[in-house]
Amino acid sequence: MMIVPSDRSLERLGQRTARRILHQKKRQKGRFAAPSIIALVGPLGAGKTTFLRGFARGLGIRRRVVSPTFLLARRYRIPHRFEIRDSRFEIYPRWFWHLDVYRLHGHKDLAGLDFSEILVDPANIVAIEWAEKVKKALPKRTTWITFRHHSKGRIVHFRKPR
């Protein structure tokens, strides 16, 4: 658990988190067969989207990242220089999926999105805002990040998969 004092600090934390995930994937080269899944939880304005702006930048994505509240999902191409090549597998990771499930009532509302395919494709890095709404649909390997308001900024808590 940490206190993050500003939006800029929150974006930098997102960048570092993305780079850590890419580094882990490079270390696991040839052994990973699953996407990286990040579940973000917290009230409105707690910093989930701000964190993901920095996260996308850490993946090398230069496009402006906005919350897909009304679209449900946005997909961004991860630049080639961040891809990992392995002779036995395709190139990973290839796509960053940003989902915002605020408007959903539960995991059954994800059926039209091909959500299960997104969660199993090893070429994906998936970040889900308001993930508590679809918790039943998420695998145990999901990393959970909780955001809360604090008088000195925001409290961010990482819970790594088992």
Count of domains forming the chain: 1
Cα–Cα distance between 131 and 120 in angstroms, integer?
A: 17
Report the percent of the chain where pLDDT is more than 90.
52
Supply the range of the domain harboring residue 72.
2-159
Cα–Cα distance between 84 and 67 in angstroms, integer?
A: 27
Q: Give pLDDT tens digits for 105-120.
A: 777 677 777 788 888 8
Q: Write down the pLDDT at residue 109.
A: 74
* Arithmetic mean of pLDDT, 132-148: 93
> Residue 146: CB partners within 8 Å, gap ≥ 6?
41, 42, 155, 156, 157, 159
The CATH number of whichever domain residue 93 belongs to comes to 3.40.50.300
* Arithmetic mean of pLDDT, 131-160: 93
